[in-house]
Structure 1
Amino acid sequence: MELRHRALEVLCFSDPEQKAAATIDLYAHKALYSIADLAPVLQIQEADLPGRPAKPELKHHTAMARRSPATPEGRAILIHAIAHIEFNAINLALDAVWRFDGMPEQYYHDWLQVAAEEAKHFCLLRQHLRQHHDQDYGDHPAHQGQWTMCEKTRGDIVARMALVPRTMEARGLDATPQIQHKLRNTKAADALAAVEVLDIILREEVGHVAIGNHWYRWLCEKNRLEPESLYQELTARYEAPRLRPPFNERARRAAGFTETEMAWLLQS
C-alpha cells in the first residue's frame, strides 16, 4: 500500500478513536509502505476534509466558554480545548503527508511522526477528561481556527511549513508554561495530573516545531528564498495570527528559531 494514500484515508476518518489508533499504527509500520507521486491519482473534495465527529459543536472562537482553571468545570473546559487542538494537530500533520508530492522520504516520515505523537497527546488528554472529570471529547464546544490556516496554505508547501508548525503550533510552546502555572496554583489533584500530561506534550511539541523549521529552511534553500524576510511576507499575505508575548524563548530556540527571528518576535 502507498503511504500518502493511506494518510489521506486516515485523515478522512471521523471517529476520533479510530483516527488516533490508525495514525499511530501507520507510523509504526511506515517502513512497509511505498511512497509515490500521487498528484494525478489522489482526488478528494476539500469540503470533506478533515473527517471529524458530529461533536464537538464548532463555534467561532469569540463564542467559546472561559477556560479558567479555578474550578473543576473550568479545568474540564480547558483540557477539552487542548484535546481539540491535539485532534486538529493530527489532521494537520496527516494533511502535510498526503497533500504535497515530490518531497524526500524523510519529510513524509517526519510528519507521520508528528501525527502519531499528536494522536498520543489526544489520547492522554481524553483519558484525563474521562478519569478526572467524568467527561469525554465532544462534551464541550470547540473552534476550528487551526484548520483555517491549513486551508489557506493548501496550495503552497512553503507557506504551510512557515505558518502551521512555525506559527500556529509554536504558539503552544508559549502558552503551555502559562497554563501549567495556573494549574499548579490550584493545587487540585486533577490539575497537577494535567500538568504532567502537558509536560509530555510540551517536550514533544518542541520537536514538531523543529521539524517545521527544518523543512521550511530546506524549501527556502532549494528555491533560493531568504527564510527570515519571506516569513514576514507570508504572515502578512496569509493573514496569520499576530504573535504576542510572552514567548517561551528557551523552547523556541530549542526548536530552531534563530536569534534574528527571536529579535523580530520580541520587537514586533
Structure 2
Amino acid sequence: MTSNDPTIARAIRAALLTPDPRAKCFATRKLVRDWRQGKLAFDFDVAMPDRPAWPDSPQLLAPKEMPRRSKGGSERGRIALWHALAHIEFVAIDLALDMAGRFGADQGREFVDDFLSVAADEAMHFALLARKLESMGSHYGALPAHDGLWQAAEDTAHDVRARLAVVPMVLEARGLDVTPSTLERVRAQGDVNGAKILSRILDDEIRHVAAGTKHFERLAGETGESPQNLWKILLEKHFHGAVKPPFNDSARLAAGLSRDYYAGIAS
C-alpha cells in the first residue's frame, strides 16, 4: 500500500465523527468489511477524537436527571425501555471503535480484529433496536438519554488496561446481569420479536466481555501481575460507580470473568 491508501485509523476516526446513527452504522460495517478484506493499512496515522459526533437528539441528561422508567407494561414504558437500550448500543459502537483506534497501534492486529468485531455487532444491535422503536411508532432520539456512558472512555483514554477493566469488564458485564430479567419481562408481554433481539444481544455480549477479559489478562501477564488484583486496583482508581449484584455468574464465567474478580467488592 502507498501513503495515499486508506488506513484503519482514518476509517475509524471518520466513523466516530459521523453523527447520524444510521450513517454511523453503515460506516462502521463498511470499515470492518474493508479491514477484513485487506483494504485498510494497519497504520495509526491520525489521532482519535476526544468525543465522537452524535446527533442533536436524543437530549442528553445527567443520569440523576433521567426520568424514572416505569417497569409496567404500558406502551410508553415499553418504548422507554427500547429507547434506553438503543442508546446504550449506539454509544457502544463508538466505545468499541475508540478502543480499536486509540489503542490498536500498540496492542496489535488481534486486538483490532476483536474490537472491530465488537463494533460491527453493536452497529447491528442498534439497527435492530432502532427498527423495533419504529415498529412501535417511535424512533431513536424521541426521548432523552443519559450522558454518562462516554464518561468511562474519557476517564480511561490514557490507559488501555483501565479501559478494558471498566468498559468490557464492568459496563458490558453489567449487561450480562440485567438482560435476562428484561428478556423474561419482554417474553411475558408476548413480545416474540423483542425477545429474539435481546437473546441475540445477550449471546453477543458474552463474546464482547470475553474479548475484553482476554486482552486484560494478556496485559496483566506481560507484567506478572494478578489480573484479579490489578482489576480491583484499576476499578478503585477509574470507576466511579458501584459493582452491584445480583450477578449472572454463568454468563460471566462463559466470558472468562470468574467470581475471583468481583467477589468481595460488590456493593
TM-score (structure 1 length as normaliser): 0.92
Moved more, 57-66 or 206-215: 57-66
Counterpart position of 1:35: 42
% identical aligned pairs: 35
1:102 to 103, 106, 109: 106
- What letter matches 1:202 in structure 2? L
Correspondences of 1:164-203 after superposition (within 5 Å):
164-187=167-190, 191-203=191-203
2:132 corresponds to 1:125? no
Q: Do the aligned partners of 1:69 and 1:183 also contact (CA within 8 Å) in 2? A: no
Counterpart Cα distance in 2 of 1:103 and 1:45: 19
Counterpart Cα distance in 2 of 1:138 and 1:69: 22
Counterpart Cα distance in 2 of 1:165 and 1:8: 21
Counterpart Cα distance in 1 of 2:234 and 2:122: 25
SS in 2 for 1:32: coil
* Cα offsets for 1:4-38 (capped at 9, x unmatched): 221111111101000001111111221221112x3
Counterpart Cα distance in 2 of 1:259 and 1:168: 16
Alpha-carbon shift at residue 259 of structure 1 (Å): 4.1
Alpha-carbon shift at residue 65 of structure 1 (Å): 2.5
Counterpart Cα distance in 2 of 1:186 and 1:200: 18
* Cα offsets for 1:157-213 (capped at 9, x unmatched): 0100111000011100001011112222333xxx33211110000000000000000
SS in 1 for 2:107: coil
How many residues matched? 258
Runs of 4+ in 1 over 4 A off after TM superposition: none
Which of the pair is proportionally richer in helix? 1
* Cα offsets for 1:101-121 (capped at 9, x unmatched): 211211101100000000000
* Cα offsets for 1:64-120 (capped at 9, x unmatched): 223324111100011000000000000000001111121121110110000000000
2:23 corresponds to 1:18? yes
Counterpart position of 2:57: 55
Counterpart Cα distance in 2 of 1:160 and 1:69: 35
Counterpart Cα distance in 2 of 1:43 and 1:260: 36
Counterpart Cα distance in 2 of 1:8 and 1:44: 6
* Cα offsets for 1:224-248 (capped at 9, x unmatched): 3221111111111113421111111
| Structure 2 residues not aligned, in runs of 5+ | 1-5
CA separation of 1:94 and 1:44: change in aligned 2, threshold 3 A: closer
Q: Do the aligned partners of 2:213 and 2:255 also contact (CA within 8 Å) in 1? A: yes
- What letter matches 1:249 in structure 2? D
- What letter matches 1:57 in structure 2? Q
- What letter matches 1:80 in structure 2? H
Q: Do the aligned partners of 2:156 and 2:162 also contact (CA within 8 Å) in 1? A: yes
Correspondences of 1:83-162 after superposition (within 5 Å):
83-100=86-103, 101-131=105-135, 133-162=136-165
